[in-house]
Amino acid sequence: MMMKKPTALLILALALVFSFLSVKQSVAQSVKKGMIKVTILYPNGEGKTFDMDYYATKHIPMVKRLFGDDMKGATIDKGVAGGAPGAPVPYLAIGTLYFENIAAFQNGMKTYAQEIRADIPKFTNITPVVQISEVVE
* CA dist., res. 58 & res. 76, Å (int): 13
Neighbour count for residue 108 (Cβ, 10 Å): 19
Whether the CB-CB separation of 75 and 22 falls below 8 Å is answered with: no
At 31 the pLDDT is 86
pLDDT at 12 exceeding the cut of 80: no
- E strand map for 2-110: 36-43, 71-78, 91-99
As a CATH number, domain 27-134 is: 3.30.70.100
Tell me the pTM.
0.78
* CA dist., res. 65 & res. 47, Å (int): 31
* CA dist., res. 97 & res. 40, Å (int): 8
**How far does CA 68 lie from the centroid of its chain?**
17
User: b or e along 29-64 (b: 16 or more beta carbons within 10 Å of the residue's beta carbon)?
Assistant: eeeeeebbbbbbbbebeeeeebeeeebeeebbeebe
pLDDT tens-digit readout, 29-46: 678 999 999 999 999 999
Neighbour count for residue 75 (Cβ, 10 Å): 17
- E strand map for the chain: 36-43, 71-78, 91-99, 129-134
Tell me what percent of the residues of the chain surpass a pLDDT of 70: 79
pLDDT tens-digit readout, 39-68: 999 999 999 999 999 999 999 999 999 999
